[in-house]
Each structure stands twice: as C-alpha cells, then as structure tokens.
Amino acid sequence: MAREAFVTLATNDRYCEGALVVAQSLRRHKTRREIVVLITPQVSTICRSRLSVLFDHVIVVDVLDSNDEAHLALLHRPELGVTFTKLHCWRLVQYTKCVFLDADTLVLTNVDELFERNELSASPDAGWPDMFNSGVFVFTPSMETYNDLIKLADTDGSFDGGDQGLLNSYFSEWSTSDTSKRLPFLYNMHSTATYTYSPAFAQYGKDTKIVHFIGFVKPWNHKYDEKTGEVTQVEGPGIHEETLVKQWWKVWAEVQGLEGMRKTTTV
Amino acid sequence: MAREAFVTLATNDRYCEGALVVAQSLRRHKTRREIVVLITPQVSTICRSRLSVLFDHVIVVDVLDSNDEAHLALLHRPELGVTFTKLHCWRLVQYTKCVFLDADTLVLTNVDELFERNELSASPDAGWPDMFNSGVFVFTPSMETYNDLIKLADTDGSFDGGDQGLLNSYFSEWSTSDTSKRLPFLYNMHSTATYTYSPAFAQYGKDTKIVHFIGFVKPWNHKYDEKTGEVTQVEGPGIHEETLVKQWWKVWAEVQGLEGMRKTTTV
Ligand SMILES: O=c1ccn([C@@H]2O[C@H](COP(=O)(O)OP(=O)(O)O)[C@@H](O)[C@H]2O)c(=O)[nH]1
Ligand SMILES: O=c1ccn([C@@H]2O[C@H](COP(=O)(O)OP(=O)(O)O)[C@@H](O)[C@H]2O)c(=O)[nH]1
Ligand SMILES: [Mn+2]
Ligand SMILES: [Mn+2]
C-alpha cells in the first residue's frame, strides 16, 4: 500500500518544541498518516527521546545551509540559511507522497485530505502572493528532485537566502498552474494576516485549518501563565493573534502531560 | 466595433490628482483604449476641467456609501465607505469590457493586454491572498450585475465596509476559478510589498506593470522637491518604496506641463 507521511524539521532544541506541537496537533485530530521529523546532529539526546514519543520516525540529516548572508540580510532573518536542510525531505522515498509542515505551524483540524493533492501544492505567501509559502506543501519524494534542487542551490542560490526562494524558483510554474496546486490560504494562515487585514480574518478566520506563526518571534518565545492561561507576547517585529498563540500553548500543555515527557524539564 | 475603456474614480479633489496621474501613465504608454473617470458632485469645477484634458469622458455619479462604521473601524480606514461609489462602473454599458484602476495606481507599461481577460479578473490581495485586491480588475458593464451588487450591499453589506469586501463576496468563486482570472501580482503590485518581502521585490519587482499605493498615506501626501527630485515621506502607517513614489511624482510633473493644466495652481 502507498505510504504517506507528514514531515517536519528541527535543527535545534527550540524548534523541537515546535515540532512536538505539530505532531500533537496532528494526533489530536486523528491523522491516519505517519508523522516524521528530520533533525540535525546538534539536537540534544533529551529532545530526541521526547520527539520519539510523538513521531513515528526521527531521522537525522546533515545541516544544509545557504550561507547567503546578503540575501538573508534583505529578509532580516540571518538565521534562515539553515532552512536549506528542508530539502532533505525529498529523500524520503520510502513514502509515495508527503506533506511538509514547518515546525512553527499548528494544525487545527484533520487535514488528511491534503494527500489528494499533487506536487507541488501550496498556499500563496501573503508577502508576495504570486509565490507560495514554503511552510506547508504537498510533495513527492524523489532522489532526482532532491539532486536537481541541490544543483540549483549550487548554481543559482536562493533569492531570499532561504528554502522558500529556492523552492519557488524550482517550482516556478506554481502561480500559473491549475488551481488544484493552489491550497487555500486557510491551510497556511499566517498568524500576522489577522492584523494586516483583520476584516478578512474576522470573516474567514474561523475556518482556519493550519496556522503558521511566521516571523522572527515564535509562540515558544512568549510567556505563558499556566494558571491563568494568559500569554504575554515579547516585543519584536510581527505580532501574532493572541487567541492563536494561546491555542499553541494549550497543545504544548497536552504535550507536557504525555507519558514519556515528564522526565524532562519544561520549556 | 467593441468599445473598451479604462475606468477610474475620484470622489474629491485630492483623489483627482491620483486620477490625473493614472490617465497620464496610461497615455504615456500609448494605450489604445478610452479612458474614463467617474466623479461625484463635490469635485470642484477646476478639477473637472483638468480631468477633461486627460480623460475621454468625465462622468458624474452619485455618492454611494456603505456607512458601515463598525467594519471600517476594523480596517482602520473610516474614509473608505465611499468606495461603494466604485459600483457605478458596472453601469458603463456603452462599453463591452472595462478595466478598473484605483486612483492610487500608476501604470508603468502598456497594459492593453488586460482586455483579453474576462470578468472578474484581478490580482491577489497581499493581506489575505485568497481574496482579490479591488484596485485593478477586468469587468463587463451590465445593469444586471450593478443591480445585484446594490442588492447585496443592502442585504449583506461588506465584511470590510468597503468595495473590496463586497466585490469578493459577489465574485466569491475567484480564488478557485481557472487561473486566467488570476492576474499576476505585478498588475497590482502593492507598494508596501517591497518592505514585507523585499527579496521577492528585488527578484521580480523590475517587471512591475502597475503599482498600487495602498494604505492611508498616498503619494500626493508626500513632499516633493521639484529641483532635486527628492521625496520626503510623511509619517504614517505603511510606507511606500521610495523609487516608486518618485515615479509617481515624475508623472505628476508631466501632468503639470500639459496644455490646459497651467491655469491651475499646483498641488
Ligand atoms: O534555526 C532554524 C530555523 C528554521 N528551522 C526549520 O525551518 C522552518 C522554517 O523557518 P521559520 O519557520 O523560522 O521561517 P518563517 O516561517 O518564519 O519564514 C522552521 O519552521 C523549522 O522547521 C529550523 O529547524 N531551525
Ligand atoms: O475618499 C475617497 C476614497 C477612495 N476613493 C476611490 O476609491 C479607491 C479606493 O480607495 P483607496 O485607494 O484609498 O483604498 P486602498 O487601495 O488604500 O485600500 C481610490 O483609489 C479612489 O479611486 C475616492 O475617490 N475617494
Ligand atoms: Mn515557518
Ligand atoms: Mn487603492
């Protein structure tokens, strides 16, 4: 039978917290697909053991880095060169189809219907909507695609220094291809869109399927009061809708309660 | 023969300055279509005479206002209820097809190929990319559509209090319809996108066809030094790429130099 999986990525212990929430948010909505996390060698042993509680497979890959300081400076995100590591997901050829989810996403409902779509299906990026956002996408593992992507990274690099620029150059026909490749924005609802166009969020936001906490500040950077359930957002560029950040922390609390997690310290 | 036209709108003298620049930007790129402006009674006589220099037709229409303070407050743009006046464009049944352009747009090249598209073709809105931005769209004048829109405005109103919310509710199949209805973002490049995703602007921005100066502050609100060609942007939410604002002022200078404009004072 065809094997299909959700895949995420964490190159360090902070992003592992996000990955745990991604997995738990899929499980609580009863996904029928496998769940896989790619990690790099620097992830600690304790985090690996926690990941193994929620993921079907924890797979160690090499760090891939664009080392493209010039383009990353344009993006004001020097840390994102390492997102080239995401390319390893195409090597998961034991699966016939996968859905990649950034570690800073939160699944709000069962989204297994995504596996009916084909490579490369993704939602528009709110910053430049003729590009897709690479935080959520449907893909087909293939060593040939992997090698092509690595070659393109070598020859042309990425115009934003991260995986999103590279993937948009490679799958450049996305914006003009048929609409089945265009996932609704609700599958990758940028948590900042609630401020840039709040009437649209008020109208459509209740049907959000996957939230994506884009930007430098992530939910795990905020302060959460376990007793009151209140979140205090840290200062920083881009601010997330508070109700969404609270939902992230609610799922984090569930993760903490799971058998096998208790032996570790909290965030 | 089929009559086709570009259409814009100005309900007051400030937006007339924008409309003049829209018309001149179309003329300098040698459009072969007619150019029409809808104005409301409050536009001054002097502005009307200036408009008549650049437009084939200056058509007076009634003000239509959503009077929807609650939704406009969400948008932080109390002044946009009056954009319902845009709906009058569907009454231009002397034309078989039209392209609407907001008065805060600037055409950078010949875009007559837009008339090959059908109603309703538009670019995605960067704030919520499953909606179209209503600053640039291809439409078919029709009294039936006009009446339906007025009816919808009466019964359901607009979820953002402006024309964009209403038009997206009416043409709600836009985001899932075939890709020919989806104009590339470069036909409605929001001048703020240059900041929200500057690597994409660096990569694709040079091919921009129509700039849209969205937001509360418009190019005509900035200060321009005729001698140096320098622009000083006023403070305010949302900031426009400076090179684009300068291009707007360059076309404004052309407008000022036209026969029939000199008798009026400058901005
Ligand atoms: O130091 C890093 C930065 C990023 N990532 C992974 O790469 C994805 C993309 O980065 P991020 O989500 O921070 O970018 P944004 O969505 O804010 O553009 C993350 O979700 C993680 O899966 C990671 O593992 N370590
Ligand atoms: O007081 C107003 C406000 C708007 N408009 C017209 O309605 C359009 C939409 O408004 P605006 O461009 O200010 O909205 P934005 O694009 O910033 O959302 C303008 O371009 C004008 O054509 C107008 O004539 N008078
Ligand atoms: Mn992300
Ligand atoms: Mn506008």
Q: Is the CB of A128 less than 8 angstroms away from the CB of B165?
A: no
Pocket test for ligand 1, best of A76, A104, A132, A158 (most atoms within 8 A of CB): A104
**pLDDT tier at A143 (50, 70, 90 boundaries)?**
very high
pTM value?
0.94
> Tokens 């029709």 — which residue?
B142
**pLDDT tier at B46 (50, 70, 90 boundaries)?**
very high
> Tokens 């087909």 — which residue?
A140
Q: Which residue has the higher pLDDT, B233 or A15?
A: A15
Pocket test for ligand 2, best of B63, B80, B106, B107 (most atoms within 8 A of CB): B80
Say how far residue A89 (Cα) sits from the centre of its chain.
12
CB-facing half-sphere around the CA of B238: CA atoms within 13 A: 20
Residues of B with CB under 8 A from a CB of A: 71, 74-75, 123-131, 159-161, 165, 175-179, 182, 184-186, 193, 196-204
Residues B205, B210, B214, B220, Cα dihedral to 10°? 110
What is the model's pLDDT at position A196? 73
B30 and B110 Cβ atoms separated by less than 8 Å:
yes
Residues with CB under 6 A from ligand 2: B 8-12, 15, 79-80, 82-83, 86, 102-104, 135, 214-215
- Residue B226 CB contacts under 8 Å (≥ 6 apart), including other chains: B253
In ligand 2, the atom with minimum distance to the C-alpha of B86 is 7
| d(CA A224, ligand 4 centre) in Å | 40
Concatenate the DSSP letters of all residues of B1-44 into one string: ---EEEEEEESSHHHHHHHHHHHHHHHHTT--SEEEEEE-TTS-
pLDDT tens-digit series, residues B194-213: 777 889 999 999 999 999 99
Average pLDDT over residues A158-174: 96
Dig out the tokens for B184 from the structure: 């590339």
pLDDT higher than threshold 70 for residue B234 = yes
pLDDT tens-digit series, residues A66-107: 888 888 888 788 888 899 999 999 999 999 999 999 999 999
B-chain residues near A180 (CB < 8 A):
none
Stretch (H or E) spanning A38: strand A34-39
What is the model's pLDDT at position B237? 63
**pLDDT tier at A129 (50, 70, 90 boundaries)?**
very high
Mean pLDDT of chain A: 92
Of chain B, the percentage scoring pLDDT greater than 70 comes to: 96
* Cα-Cα-Cα-Cα dihedral sign, residues B157, B163, B164, B168: positive
| d(CA A181, ligand 4 centre) in Å | 29
Count of CB pairs separated by less than 8 Å, A with B: 107
What is the model's pLDDT at position B2? 81
Closest by CA position to A80, among listed A164, A190, A136, A188: A164
What is the model's pLDDT at position B3? 96
Closest by CA position to A238, among listed A254, A217, A261: A217
What is the model's pLDDT at position A156? 92
pLDDT tens-digit series, residues B106-156: 999 999 999 999 999 999 999 999 999 999 999 999 999 999 999 999 899
Dig out the tokens for B50 from the structure: 């200036």
Q: What is the number of residues in chain A?
A: 267
Residue A179 is nearest to which of B160, B165, B176, comparing CB atoms?
B176
What is the model's pLDDT at position B1? 65
Closest by CA position to B4, among listed B119, B107, B81, B83: B119
What is the model's pLDDT at position B195? 74
> Tokens 């939910």 — which residue?
A219
Q: How many CB atoms lie within 10 A of CB B79?
A: 12
Dig out the tokens for A260 from the structure: 């096998």
In ligand 2, the atom with minimum distance to the C-alpha of B212 is 16
Dig out the tokens for A128 from the structure: 């430049």
What is the model's pLDDT at position A38? 98
pLDDT tens-digit series, residues A43-75: 999 999 999 999 999 999 999 998 888 888 887
How far is residue A33's CA from residue A4's CA, in Å, rounded to a whole number? 6
B-chain residues near A179 (CB < 8 A):
176-179
Helix, coil or strand: residue A196: helix
pLDDT tens-digit series, residues A112-122: 999 999 999 99
How far is residue A150's CA from residue A138's CA, in Å, rounded to a whole number? 19
Cα–Cα separations (whole angstroms), residue A192 to A118, A212, A245, B126, B236: 27, 9, 11, 12, 19
pLDDT tens-digit series, residues B2-26: 899 999 999 999 999 999 999 999 9
